[in-house]
Amino acid sequence: MSKRATYAVGGAAVGLVLLWVLPLWAALLIIVGVPVGGYLLLDPSQRARLKRVTRKEIGR
């Protein structure tokens, strides 16, 4: 299994556990909030670079 697939399976498992343990609104807030928070922590130059690359190149 590739590294990306491992992360995807782990993320899905964490999401399912959050949906089971927390109320729906709290789980969705965490599932959506963590990636948005990570994006907002990037410098403007890093955000511009992230917008330029395609999805396929992000993992390189």
What tens-digit pLDDT sequence spans the chain (60 residues)?
788 889 889 988 988 888 888 888 888 888 888 889 989 999 999 988 888 876 666 665
pLDDT at 9: 92
The pTM of the full predicted model, rounded to 2 decimals, is: 0.58
Residue 55: the pLDDT is: 61
* Helix-strand-coil split of the chain, %, nearest 5: 80, 0, 20
The pLDDT of residue 58 is 62
